[in-house]
């Protein structure tokens, strides 16, 4: 009998125990908002594609493994929320959503993103967090109105150079992936203000980033300041001009490193009176240092020499090292204080003996 509600515009069935929907739901032609989130739905009836006036469809927090191709019939859709399901792919028909503004597919099992995503010309927010994506399609560069792109916690190994085509992009976050480089074309996204590349495998940043008016640039999970002073350098393998700083390259965090203090240049000299047993023997070779290549006799060769960079310890390790050194220094100062007090007492006894 639900099908008789021909003038119904909003239907909220969220947070129930629904395992299926009646096919007659496709008869609610005037429906504009349909909330089905927080149920036990394993599938959506293909008749949902008949809802030509639907603006918002929320099927988050269900057990959907796929969406029917007929869903492409929702040509008026502006918001599609399918977070927290079991989706591995999105139907190619999603490219027919010319009015779609918000697409949230986070916390699914996406292994690829359909090329037709580039046809969603009105898309302003795309959330792909916590999936299994290894790459993004080149067509993503066609999204000229995209403001926010979040692909945190995936398995991305590279980004397409076409990403620079997202000329309205303000926030771009790819935290906790497997990226080894950022394409220099990112600078073409001139509206970019926030770039989060923390938790990746970057060894440098493209020099073109200097042309952007970034307000925040995140490079590591524990960085105290979002903006750092960078230096220009040359990648020895490709000859490309790059940007680098003390945090790049950076070693990954190791679970066992928090309880030990690795050797690290000047820090070691502060505690050189401590026995070797205090140090983490496994980290002896993990030295963070910058040194020049050995001097050549030819002055012209000297002018061409460059810096050799070694990986900086993870910020978690640096904090632990700092804390350990401070504790050792406090202990040493306390010991010196005791010695000083003893000397004063001895001197006082001597004075008393002398006066007697």
* Residue 283 is assigned to a structural domain of this protein: no
Would you tell me how many other CB atoms lie within 10 Å of the CB of residue 51? 24
* Residue 144 is assigned to a structural domain of this protein: yes
* Residue 278 is assigned to a structural domain of this protein: no
Say if residues 216 and 226 touch (Cβ distance below 8 Å).
Answer: yes
Dihedral sign computed on CA atoms, order 129, 130, 135, 137: negative
Say if residues 74 and 48 touch (Cβ distance below 8 Å).
Answer: yes
Looking at residue 228, its pLDDT comes to 62
How far is it, in rounded angstroms, from Cα 348 to Cα 49? 96
Which residue carries 């999603």 as its tokens?
Answer: 94
Tokens of 59: 């099927």
Would you tell me how many other CB atoms lie within 10 Å of the CB of residue 136? 23
Backbone φ and ψ for 241, nearest 5 degrees, come out as -75, 130
* Residue 300 is assigned to a structural domain of this protein: no
* Residue 297 is assigned to a structural domain of this protein: no
Tokens of 268: 């070691």
Q: For the domain that residue 143 is a member of, what is the CATH number?
A: 3.80.10.10
Looking at residue 309, its pLDDT comes to 58
Looking at residue 165, its pLDDT comes to 96
How far is it, in rounded angstroms, from Cα 166 to Cα 146? 6
* Residue 335 is assigned to a structural domain of this protein: no
Looking at residue 162, its pLDDT comes to 96
* Domain range for 67: 2-244
Looking at residue 254, its pLDDT comes to 60
* Residue 343 is assigned to a structural domain of this protein: no
Say if residues 316 and 222 touch (Cβ distance below 8 Å).
Answer: yes
Looking at residue 17, its pLDDT comes to 96
Looking at residue 280, its pLDDT comes to 46
* Residue 152 is assigned to a structural domain of this protein: yes
Quick check: bond before 249 cis, omega within 30? yes
Say if residues 115 and 93 touch (Cβ distance below 8 Å).
Answer: no
What are the C-alpha distances in Å from 238 to residues 233, 234, 245? 12, 8, 19
Q: Which residues lie across from 102 on neighbouring strands? A: 79, 125
Structural domains of the chain, count: 1
This prediction's pTM: 0.68
Across 145-288, where does the E strand assignment appear?
A: 148-150, 171-173, 194-196, 205-206, 216-218, 231-234, 241-244
Going by their DSSP bridges, the two strands 171-173 and 148-150 should be labelled as parallel
Split the chain (356 residues) into runs of 10 and give each run's mean pLDDT. 93 96 94 97 95 97 95 95 97 95 97 96 97 96 97 96 96 94 94 94 89 89 54 85 76 56 44 44 44 50 54 71 82 74 64 51
């Amino acid at each position: 009998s639900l099908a008789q509600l021909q003038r119904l515009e909003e239907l909220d069935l969220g947070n129930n125990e629904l395992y299926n929907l009646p096919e007659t739901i496709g008869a609610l032609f005037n429906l504009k908002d349909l909330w089905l989130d927080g149920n036990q739905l394993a599938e959506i009836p293909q008749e949902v594609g008949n809802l030509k006036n639907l603006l918002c469809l929320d099927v988050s927090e269900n057990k959907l493994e796929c969406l029917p191709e007929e869903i492409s019939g929702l040509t008026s859709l502006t918001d599609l929320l399918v977070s927290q399901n079991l989706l591995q792919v999105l139907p190619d028909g999603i490219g027919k959503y010319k009015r779609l503004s918000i697409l949230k597919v986070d916390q699914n099992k996406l292994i690829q993103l359909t090329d037709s995503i580039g046809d969603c010309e009105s898309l302003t927010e795309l959330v792909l967090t916590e999936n299994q994506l290894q790459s993004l399609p080149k067509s993503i560069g066609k999204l000229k109105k995209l403001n926010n792109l979040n692909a945190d916690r995936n398995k991305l190994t590279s980004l397409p150079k076409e990403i620079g085509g997202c000329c309205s992009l303000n926030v771009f976050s790819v935290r906790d992936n497997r990226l080894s480089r950022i394409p220099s074309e990112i600078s073409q996204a001139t509206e970019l203000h926030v770039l989060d590349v923390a938790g990746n495998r970057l060894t440098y940043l493209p020099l073109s980033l200097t042309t952007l008016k970034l307000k925040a640039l995140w490079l590591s999970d524990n960085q105290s300041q979002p903006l750092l002073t960078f230096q220009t350098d040359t990648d020895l393998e490709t000859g490309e001009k790059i940007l680098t700083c003390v945090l790049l390259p950076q070693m990954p965090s190791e679970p066992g490193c928090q309880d030990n203090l690795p050797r690290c240049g000047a820090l070691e000299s502060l505690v050189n009176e401590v026995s070797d047993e205090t140090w983490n023997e496994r980290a002896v070779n993990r030295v963070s240092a910058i040194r020049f290549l050995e001097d050549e006799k030819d002055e012209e060769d000297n002018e061409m020499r460059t810096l050799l960079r070694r990986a900086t310890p993870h910020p978690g390790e640096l904090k632990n090292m700092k804390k350990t050194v401070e504790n050792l220094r406090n202990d040493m100062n306390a010991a010196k204080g005791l010695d000083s007090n003893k000397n004063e007492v001895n001197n006082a006894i001597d004075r008393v003996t002398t006066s007697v």
